[in-house]
Structure 1
């Protein structure tokens, strides 16, 4: 009878250093020879868990065994745990093999083909699954403690980092920790810079950054950069020094509850403020918040300009076979000229007026100083209530975390069933906790606004520099800075009304480099009426 041999160990480390696979193969070959079986093929799986079927050699073996006719009549394993450690999956694959006329034989756990033998295999499989889960539980507990002590558990460090081995006398074996890889770290910094600041005044998304790196021959450990890889890197908090272990359930491919995470402090490659600014920009530019056309289009006012009569957005339209470009109300475009009274306006004329108004009426020393005075007064009035607000929020957060922990403890002890009602309650608690964390972070940021330390001289210098950049249409910075500080522009046919964020503008002025960070909104209207601007119409 022709047979196939299947040998497996759980990790590549075992495969490299262990003698298990050679020993499994030797014993199976000897057993097959003693029983008069000829070995048709050998399948060796180095470094694959038996708790799932994501194993290339295993899948190849199953595929080969279902061929008509099958190249062998039985699959030989050392023990049934080499085949599967999940009792349900074990039964499903064994049934699939039986349909193809292929037996599964263990040389150390031999059973008969009758009902008693089938029961014995099921018992063996259940014990293998139990042992696997128990081993996994204890292994994870040890790995979490290792992470809490600041050590690295993984095999591949994040791009930009490398592992450094520490020979600790009191520890068994060697420990590893993450340190900055000075050869890769500049690429990480460049990716964050390109995403936040763009290139030559043009914004860049993850795909454009990947293409730029590829164009300059910058590789990701020998491989090309892709949009997904850039996106993952920009969202990894490890780069601001906050590495998280045990965040994801790799089998279920789901994020675990945050209370199971283990945070490890490492040396940051990216300043925390820069990382948070990029995170905010990623959120602002996501399709759910801002349509992709608004981000990618070269048109200056797309996404900002709205009709003040009907509230619809104003988008580009052409005339005379495309020779002329206009901003036109979407209501007029979709329902005809009689649906809205706001006329179309030449694009170049509107762009020039908006930029001139922003530069001449907002970025003047007098206007900026007045905004600074208003902001300081606002912060002074708000300061008295912020401490009390923080205390209230933190108190509720502690109570919420206590309630959540008690809920999980009750489930773990078997006092409550984890049914749909309880899952719904847990989701509500989690959602409220996330909302509280956002409120706490927002209140803390308001307390840390740098505008109180801003001098009149700094403000004047900032206004002059920003004014020059906004009015320089050739450099490509106009759209970026306009979108940074202006939240909405309304046009009713005769008058332009702009609204922006005082805190964002003043906080940018307080940074050493313009645009280093973003600060949440405060006092939304810094320009209610342009006064001398009587509109772009003739």
Structure 2
């Protein structure tokens, strides 16, 4: 025990008329002090912690208690136990024997603002003979004192929830007015002071584009859409690409999840949402509780929509990852004509031979499918030769595009009535939603009623289904019917003929855009299915000297057998 504390004990002993022979443990009780504030800003700028410590030290001196240790917790909420200093103190207090007999706090709210947690931690301390003492809320050890402590704890919890409710309301209004709520700005942005000030005289802040980071954001979008040097890139590859070049994410290496966040947030087109998730549980709030903010955009809406569509098209549930990442020409496109399973690369003789094999035969048993293995180079050459010599002919491509325009005109003419019907249905659903929400806001219907919540969810699902159908019809209507010039067709055919045989990575990406699948028949034919829409968009995007591949083409109809926009071609190998 420090010498100054021993001297203090002797003074206390003399003042109380105790004999020198009495052990120090009987003279005074050893205690620990615990002081806390809720935020780091309070700890840096407030006088609460020094004041708490001063009052507790003076109180302990008046009582003759020895202070064994002082625990200070800056910037931690008392509504849970995720507090490192609290846990260190509890670990010390629950030793046997305990180094102190009591924990002294200014008020019980400094220890916990949750009545259940307060009771549990008091019970833990009591098992080791450690008391919890508040210098401003003194209670006895009898049942009346125990009841008083519980009442104090319940009131502290209520006050905490009320404060949280008002703080949340104020932060939502701050967000509605376009101000930042003090958190770290998202990547690509910084905060700048606004003219408006808080009640304490501090300037409020807004988000502004931070150009050094915004340049990296634009680069991420460009790499995902167009690849690098003609090669496609996924999120993991983009993360590695940026990290290798020293373009770190605020000093840290990029990870795939970070790249996904940049590519998926509407923030970068100028739309930010506040109150999306609950701060403690991280559960998503209902969309009607979100607060929409407008910020400066880094990416234009068309680019963002193209990236979102490409992410959807590359989703593992829709396309095998090997179709995107594999360097094998036809992986992800080949289908077995016997059983319909995918065909993938297989090797023989220690890798000397490479061929395409039905996955049913490869993963299960050979008697499930009687298809044959096909040498990889033989099939690759046959497909590329067919495209170069028979398909990439301006007259042939022009004829296909003429058929596409005719079918598109027929499809548009048949959708006018359906478009009007979907709009009427959508308006009716939105009106029902509005009436239901008005009834809830007015108090006519209880918001906690499960049946009311079920009705809201059902209306939301119906509305989303109508919006999806409406978007599909609009997409068809938006497709231009203007003629593609012979010059554009000629450039398309020439570019592909020049590069298909020389660059298999380039060839694979064009085949992925133009084709949906290639089925191998028993007669030795490769039946290729494609889309008129894919062909038309690819012709329009292809330019002389291009190094990249059109990375995504919107498909205006599902790829079923009945799709009139689906085209079949045959190549013999």
Q: Same fold, TM exceeding 0.5? A: yes
Are 1:243 and 2:272 an aligned pair?
yes
Compared with structure 1, are the counterparts of its residues 35 and 182 closer, same or farther at alpha carbon in structure 2 (3 Å cutoff)? same
SS of 1:75 mapped into structure 2: strand
Compared with structure 1, are the counterparts of its residues 457 and 71 closer, same or farther at alpha carbon in structure 2 (3 Å cutoff)? farther
* Aligned match for 2:479, one of 449, 455, 463: 449
2:307 equivalent in structure 1: 278
1:436 equivalent in structure 2: 466
Give distance in 1, aligned partners of 2:366 and 2:31: 80
1:256-335 correspondence to structure 2 within 5 Å: 256-334=285-363
SS of 2:196 mapped into structure 1: coil
Give distance in 1, aligned partners of 2:391 and 2:57: 84
Deviation sequence 1:369-396 (CA, Å, 0-9, x none): 3444444442542552464145135314
* 8 A Cα contact 2:197 2:203, kept in partner: no
SS of 1:51 mapped into structure 2: coil
Cα distance, 1:254 vs. partner?
1.0
* 8 A Cα contact 1:11 1:46, kept in partner: yes
Give distance in 1, aligned partners of 2:477 and 2:130: 71
Cα distance, 1:180 vs. partner?
0.8
Cα distance, 1:157 vs. partner?
0.6
Give the alignment's Cα RMSD to 1 decimal: 3.0
1:180 equivalent in structure 2: 209
* Aligned match for 1:205, one of 231, 234, 250: 234
* 8 A Cα contact 2:276 2:287, kept in partner: yes
* Aligned match for 1:137, one of 157, 165, 173: 165
Are 1:225 and 2:257 an aligned pair?
no
Deviation sequence 1:297-338 (CA, Å, 0-9, x none): 222222221112221111222233321111112233355555
Compared with structure 1, are the counterparts of its residues 57 and 117 closer, same or farther at alpha carbon in structure 2 (3 Å cutoff)? same
Compared with structure 1, are the counterparts of its residues 69 and 357 closer, same or farther at alpha carbon in structure 2 (3 Å cutoff)? farther
SS of 2:239 mapped into structure 1: helix
* 8 A Cα contact 1:152 1:176, kept in partner: yes
Cα distance, 1:88 vs. partner?
2.0
Deviation sequence 1:231-267 (CA, Å, 0-9, x none): 2222222112211111111211111111111121212
TM-score by length of 2: 0.83
1:254 equivalent in structure 2: 283
1:47 equivalent in structure 2: 75
2:7 equivalent in structure 1: none
Moved more, 305-314 or 273-282: 273-282
Higher Cα Rg: structure 1 or 2? 2
Cα distance, 1:508 vs. partner?
4.5
Give distance in 2, aligned partners of 1:453 and 1:115: 90
2:569 equivalent in structure 1: 530
Give distance in 1, aligned partners of 2:558 and 2:395: 18
* Aligned match for 1:101, one of 129, 137, 146: 129
* 8 A Cα contact 2:515 2:530, kept in partner: yes
Give distance in 2, aligned partners of 1:56 and 1:30: 26
Compared with structure 1, are the counterparts of its residues 506 and 530 closer, same or farther at alpha carbon in structure 2 (3 Å cutoff)? closer
Cα distance, 1:452 vs. partner?
4.4
Ranges in structure 1 where 5+ consecutive residues have no aligned partner: none
1:61 equivalent in structure 2: 89
Give distance in 1, aligned partners of 2:389 and 2:164: 66
* 8 A Cα contact 1:285 1:292, kept in partner: yes
* 8 A Cα contact 1:502 1:523, kept in partner: no
Compared with structure 1, are the counterparts of its residues 329 and 258 closer, same or farther at alpha carbon in structure 2 (3 Å cutoff)? same
* 8 A Cα contact 1:470 1:482, kept in partner: no
Are 1:392 and 2:424 an aligned pair?
yes
2:189 equivalent in structure 1: 161
Are 1:497 and 2:536 an aligned pair?
no
* Aligned match for 1:32, one of 43, 55, 60: 60
Give distance in 2, aligned partners of 1:89 and 1:195: 48
1:483 equivalent in structure 2: 512
Cα distance, 1:416 vs. partner?
6.4
SS of 2:172 mapped into structure 1: helix
Compared with structure 1, are the counterparts of its residues 506 and 19 closer, same or farther at alpha carbon in structure 2 (3 Å cutoff)? farther
Give distance in 1, aligned partners of 2:300 and 2:313: 20
Give the length in aligned residue pairs. 531
Give distance in 2, aligned partners of 1:131 and 1:358: 74
* 8 A Cα contact 2:188 2:209, kept in partner: yes
SS of 1:177 mapped into structure 2: strand
Cα distance, 1:31 vs. partner?
1.9
* 8 A Cα contact 1:147 1:262, kept in partner: yes
Compared with structure 1, are the counterparts of its residues 240 and 504 closer, same or farther at alpha carbon in structure 2 (3 Å cutoff)? farther
Cα distance, 1:361 vs. partner?
5.3
Cα distance, 1:194 vs. partner?
2.5
Give distance in 2, aligned partners of 1:437 and 1:261: 20
Deviation sequence 1:145-176 (CA, Å, 0-9, x none): 22222222132111110111111379864221
SS of 1:322 mapped into structure 2: coil
Cα distance, 1:130 vs. partner?
1.7
